[in-house]
Amino acid sequence: MSPLSLYELNSLVREVLELELPDTYWVQGELSEGRQGYGGHFYGELVQKDERNVAIVAKARVNCWANVYVGLSQRFREATGETLRAGMQVLMEVSVTFHQQYGYSLNILDIDPTFTLGDMARRRQQILRQLEADGILHDNQTLPMPLLTRRIAIVSSQSAAGYGDFCDQLENNDYGFHFHLQLFPAVMQGNRVEESIIAALGQIAEQADLWDVVVIIRGGGATSDLSDFDSYPLAACIAQMPLPVVTGIGHERDETVLDYVAHTHLKTPTAVASFLIDHMGEQAVRLDDLSQRIGHSVTGTIAREQQRLIRLATVLPLAFRNMRQQQEHRLERLLQRMKAAHSERQQGEQHRLERLLHRLTTAYNEHQQRERHRLDLMEQRLQSLDPKLLLQRGYSMTFGPDGRLLRDATHVAPGQHITTRLENGEVESVVNLCQELEN
């Protein structure tokens, strides 16, 4: 048997394969490479890893012709928001081909986006569970959003879609707020997303007191690759930022892990700018409201007080007059009572005086009568004692030399002069003899 040329051998292999595997097959695996080449064809590599997801246990080249790829990639993008690329788990319908020159490859005929979606969701869930287990999932969400969000640290790329619009929107806001913006540049697409955003966030965290809020923004819509953001280290970093983080990474359909950990997540950079402006707008409204409330209260109070003063000005004199009248009446009544009491008392006193006078008069008269009577009696007695009567009856009175009435013969001595008073006249005598009479 003469040896075969390589081409003949490969042709044999091709024949056998095409004969033995004529159908199409649904195969699942991970795209380890994928790119669109010249002419719009897609070339990639599908691998299967071992249970620990480390070593490759199977590998095959895959390709998709441009005419198929146009429709297929569009449907895939619409369903997943992603383009086919390395690192994705995919479920594809393939036909097995063998080319004499290029060897074994799988020709992609169709792809099931729901499989990839499911895988992405699973990865996201896994990261979220881990964040939850670490107790940091809601850390950033529990930070209070400062009342003023005017110092804004932006994590984005100068060239990222939406960055310029974001800045314009903030700088030309209708209220005239003045925002302080600074870009902390980061790669927003591709496999350096994780490390580059983490580095930017680290830089911001070091000067956290200079900023009110962090925004992570990127425009791009449905063509962006969101799975770059589904990273545990990145999510953990955002969760633990000391400042509230607002995301707007330009995707309409789905959320990334970042959105679950960020303080506030919005769809687009424009939405983030509006959010920040509105947040400040609330403060402007609040200030206007406070100013109005204070103004109204003050004018209200002043008006009330004025009314009160006016009322008092009318009421007070009236009240005063009333009070004066009342007092006057009271005084009048008091005076009346006093007068009444006085005249009553006076009458009483008068009666008493009259009674006293009467008693006195009576007593006096009685006394007078009594005295007169006594005097009469005394007069009678005196009259009866008057020596003149005795003298008239013939008796006489003799006075000694000393002029005193002589009652005892021994009180006079012979030779002494004595005077004898008679009814009519006196007799001067000289004593001859003094003799006591014996009874």
Partner 1 sequence: MNKEISYEQAINRLEAIAQQLERGEMPIDEMAERLREAQTLLRQCRQQLYKADEAVQHILQGDES
Determine the Cα–Cα distance for residues 430 and 350; give it in Å rounded to an integer.
75
Closest CB to partner 1 among residues 155, 249: 155
Closest CB to partner 1 among residues 287, 377: 287
Closest CB to partner 1 among residues 176, 403: 176
Instruction: Please report how close the Cβ of residue 186 comes to partner 1 at its closest, in angstroms.
Output: 16
> Which residues of this chain interact with partner 1, rule CB under 8 A?
146-148, 150-151, 175-178, 180, 182, 207, 210, 280, 283-284, 286-287, 290-291, 293-294, 297-298, 301, 305
Query: Is residue 214 a contact partner of residue 201, using CB atoms and an 8 Å limit?
Result: yes
Closest CB to partner 1 among residues 281, 401: 281
Q: What three-state secondary structure class fits 103?
A: strand
Instruction: Please report how close the Cβ of residue 239 comes to partner 1 at its closest, in angstroms.
Output: 24
Instruction: Please report how close the Cβ of residue 215 comes to partner 1 at its closest, in angstroms.
Output: 16
Q: Provide the token pair at 257.
A: 């892990």
Own/partner long-range contacts of 354-363 (Cβ < 8 Å, ≥24 apart): none
Written as one letter, the residue type at 266 is L
Closest CB to partner 1 among residues 292, 361: 292
Query: Is residue 233 a contact partner of residue 223, using CB atoms and an 8 Å limit?
Result: no
Closest CB to partner 1 among residues 206, 332: 206
Instruction: Please report how close the Cβ of residue 297 comes to partner 1 at its closest, in angstroms.
Output: 4
Instruction: Please report how close the Cβ of residue 333 comes to partner 1 at its closest, in angstroms.
Output: 42
| C-alpha separations of 295 from 21, 286, 301 in Å | 87, 14, 10
Instruction: Please report how close the Cβ of residue 304 comes to partner 1 at its closest, in angstroms.
Output: 8
Q: Provide the token pair at 330.
A: 């009271």
CA 299 to centroid of chain Cα atoms: 24
Instruction: Please report how close the Cβ of residue 155 comes to partner 1 at its closest, in angstroms.
Output: 16
Closest CB to partner 1 among residues 289, 332: 289
Determine the Cα–Cα distance for residues 93 and 27; give it in Å rounded to an integer.
6
Closest CA to 276 of 197, 160, 166: 166
| C-alpha separations of 213 from 186, 255, 308 in Å | 17, 21, 51
